[in-house]
Structure 1
Amino acid sequence: MDQNAKLNEREELILRAVVQCYITTAEPVGSRVIVKRFGLDFSPATVRNVMADLEEAGYLQQLHTSSGRVPTDRGYRYYVDYLMGVQELTLAERARIEREMSARLNDADEIMRQTSQLLALVSHQTGMVQAPDEDTARVQHIEVMPVSPSRAAVMVADSYGRVHTTILQWDDGPKPDEFVTLNRFLNEHLRGVACDQMIARMHGIVRMVLDENRILAERALRMLQLLPSSRPAPLYLEGAAQLFEQPEFRDIDRAREVFGVLEERERLAALLRANVAQAGTSGASVWIGSESQEPGLREISLVASPYRVGDQTAGVIGILGPRRMPYQRLTAVVDYTATMLSRFLTRLAGV
């Protein structure tokens, strides 16, 4: 069999049957099981021959001489790309997702946390949500308050309902009675500006104003420059314990390897973004095992989708699980959840 050729109808039928059986049972699949379960017109001997051809081409593997076959990463990839079809969520499943997400509509962080919990609950795997980056958040209100003669508290409320508070060491800060004027000036010029563009916006104002507001603008700029640089958007992760209930991770060394990856949140967030960027699609995409070429992730698959705020991609959500995942259903879950999250966050941000 040509390893680069598309499979014929019979080969696709057998590969689909093996993948679906293995996803359900987590046990190597034999020819008799396929014939009986799917009511095929082929004899077990014919199915065995096709399975042998699929193994030779790299779509299946035999873990032990006397056992049935299981899919390889290449077999899963062919199944996802050509065989699994599209599964629509039921009205009840859609209503549940919308109901769970709508319970936290006033706070983006709570929506993120709720969404990761929901993905874990619905999938029985690990749910992940990367929070929106700062370049999609807008300043709703900014307040600076004196804490001591040389320290000030800066609170920035963004368009997602989040409040970021920082205590600054500000030796040349304003006098107590000047904070009201400073706050008025900051809100007049920064409300609606992207959170990661506050300094650039104030630089422009400093260059523009020539009256008494120049001193005020320079003071505001110094204060903004003292704020910490933006940090990577946090990753919310729920349901990790469910991952280790899967039979693939009964092996201690394999489980330890995967657990180490789950502890590296920034690495996982980078994998989410890379998966979606490589797929180049606005819907759900699937990354399987060794395709990542990342240590510790050979036994893991990821179903991920970007979500949007207005017309701009804001972050990524995903479900992490063993390669033996029900891709057909989880792709639909991730797709619909990303759509709902986009709708709620766009509404919250007022875009």
Structure 2
Amino acid sequence: MLTNRQLQILQVIVDDFVTSAQPVGSRQISKKDWITFSPATIRNEMADLEELGFLEKTHTSSGRVPSEKGYRFYVDHLLQPQIIQADEANQIQSVFKQQMIEMEQLIRESANILSELTTYTTILLGPDVQQHKVKKFQIVPLTEQSAVAIIVTDNGHVENRLLTLPNGFSPSDIEKMVNILNDRLTGVPLQELHLKLEVEALEILKQHVKTADTVIQSLLNVSTGQKEGKIYYGGKTNMLNQPEFHDLNKIRMLMDLMDKESQLQSLFKPKDKGIQIRIGSENNHMAMENCSVITAPFSVGEEQYGAIAIIGPTRMDYKRVVTLLDMMRNGLSRALTKP
């Protein structure tokens, strides 16, 4: 168990190192207004904290930096949420005030805003769109031979498919087809749409629209899309600006990982409904050993979840990121579960 004096010193070292990326010395700590003990006492306590594994000494300075164990203790026991400035809170809320915004656009803009406010990399894992249910079909003619089919789901996901129209396919044929599709397929999950189109809707369409086969073949493609939630990036190259990642091998490994969406799905998907913080080796991936990842789920309807992950160096501003992340995930959940 750490003493109150050791707790104060550890907190100052973490906070100062997060800000400066420079080792923190005893003299620097002693200048804090709320620190009442001498540099000699501070040096002794720093030595004890290093022996306990909470601090590390660099080769280039007499100062100390937090170890992975020190960061973990700080996160678990000393972390206090930061008060966010009004203009930053307004920036987050602005994305949720937009009218008729599609789910993909909302998630993409949320990722960009978080990356701007934190200066780190943001990854948003969208929910599995194949579980979305059809809410509405539309077919919009483009030319005499082509049209676009628009499928809107219950969670705001939009699928667009370009259709080829047979010769003589009239506006009334389009209207009949739309009415039948909406009647038969509303409420059907996208993952079941292929089967429902082929088995149920096609036979009825043939009875009312003689040349429906060609159009339906295009629509059958809607259920062949991705089977996992889509990944959205914000500030993908922000890590290049962090001094810890001036090593080309480190940044190359991290960038390679970000191109492997299946690995990102397993790495960053939250294990429960709370905010989680993984530091360095806790990420169980060589490319992430110098990174911290803070993840949080957001709800999309009653049963589906997406996730936000913010990636930064282990020298991350945890208290700021946790507060911003919590504000954003709550906003997303409210926006995406609205009736």
Contact kept, 8 Å, 1:85 with 1:328, in 2: the verdict is yes
Gaps of 5+ in 2: 208-212
3-state SS, counterpart of residue 40 of structure 1? coil
Given candidates 114, 117, 124, the residue that maps to 1:119 is 114
Contact kept, 8 Å, 1:146 with 1:152, in 2: the verdict is yes
The equivalent residue for 1:341 is 332
The equivalent residue for 2:36 is 41
Given candidates 274, 290, 302, the residue that maps to 2:281 is 290
What is the TM-score with the length of structure 1 in the denominator?
0.79
Following superposition, the deviation at residue 38 of structure 1 comes to 5.0
Distance (whole Å) between structure 2 residues aligned to residue 259 and residue 334 of structure 1: 22
Distance (whole Å) between structure 1 residues aligned to residue 248 and residue 328 of structure 2: 33
Contact kept, 8 Å, 1:120 with 1:239, in 2: the verdict is yes
Given candidates 159, 163, 166, the residue that maps to 1:164 is 159
What is the TM-score with the length of structure 2 in the denominator?
0.82
3-state SS, counterpart of residue 129 of structure 1? strand
Residue identity (%): 30
The equivalent residue for 2:7 is 12
3-state SS, counterpart of residue 315 of structure 1? strand
Following superposition, the deviation at residue 226 of structure 1 comes to 5.8
- Which amino acid is the alignment partner of residue 280 of structure 2? G
Over residues 63-110 of structure 1, what are the superposed CA-to-partner deviations in whole Å (9 max), with x where a residue is unaligned?
217431111111111101110122233443322211144336421121
Q: Tell me whether 107-116 or 264-273 shows the greater mean CA deviation.
A: 264-273
3-state SS, counterpart of residue 324 of structure 1? coil
Aligned residues: 331
Matched, 1:304 2:295: yes
Matched, 1:98 2:90: no
The equivalent residue for 1:323 is 314
Q: 1:230 to 1:240 in 2, by over 3 A?
A: closer
The equivalent residue for 1:209 is none
The equivalent residue for 1:270 is 266
The equivalent residue for 1:254 is 250
- Which amino acid is the alignment partner of residue 305 of structure 1? A
Distance (whole Å) between structure 2 residues aligned to residue 230 and residue 261 of structure 1: 23
Distance (whole Å) between structure 1 residues aligned to residue 310 and residue 283 of structure 2: 15
Following superposition, the deviation at residue 111 of structure 1 comes to 0.9
Following superposition, the deviation at residue 313 of structure 1 comes to 3.9
Contact kept, 8 Å, 1:32 with 1:44, in 2: the verdict is yes
Superposed counterparts of 1:104-183, under 5 Å: 105-135=100-130, 137-142=132-137, 155-166=150-161, 181-183=176-178
Q: 1:146 to 1:24 in 2, by over 3 A?
A: closer
Contact kept, 8 Å, 2:121 with 2:310, in 1: the verdict is yes
The equivalent residue for 2:273 is 281
Following superposition, the deviation at residue 234 of structure 1 comes to 1.8
3-state SS, counterpart of residue 233 of structure 2? strand
Q: 1:237 to 1:326 in 2, by over 3 A?
A: same
The equivalent residue for 2:210 is none
Q: 1:203 to 1:187 in 2, by over 3 A?
A: same
Distance (whole Å) between structure 2 residues aligned to residue 71 and residue 183 of structure 1: 62
3-state SS, counterpart of residue 67 of structure 1? coil
Given candidates 239, 244, 256, the residue that maps to 2:240 is 244
Following superposition, the deviation at residue 127 of structure 1 comes to 2.0
- Which amino acid is the alignment partner of residue 341 of structure 1? L
Following superposition, the deviation at residue 152 of structure 1 comes to 9.9
Following superposition, the deviation at residue 37 of structure 1 comes to 2.6
- Which amino acid is the alignment partner of residue 96 of structure 1? Q
Gaps of 5+ in 1: 1-5, 207-211
Distance (whole Å) between structure 1 residues aligned to residue 149 and residue 100 of structure 2: 25
RMSD: 3.6
- Which amino acid is the alignment partner of residue 293 of structure 1? N
Over residues 142-166 of structure 1, what are the superposed CA-to-partner deviations in whole Å (9 max), with x where a residue is unaligned?
357999xxx9975422234443234
Over residues 226-282 of structure 1, what are the superposed CA-to-partner deviations in whole Å (9 max), with x where a residue is unaligned?
655341222111213322111111222222222222333342233220xx21xx233
- Which amino acid is the alignment partner of residue 298 of structure 2? Y
Q: Tell me whether 66-75 or 95-104 shows the greater mean CA deviation.
A: 95-104
Contact kept, 8 Å, 1:306 with 1:313, in 2: the verdict is no
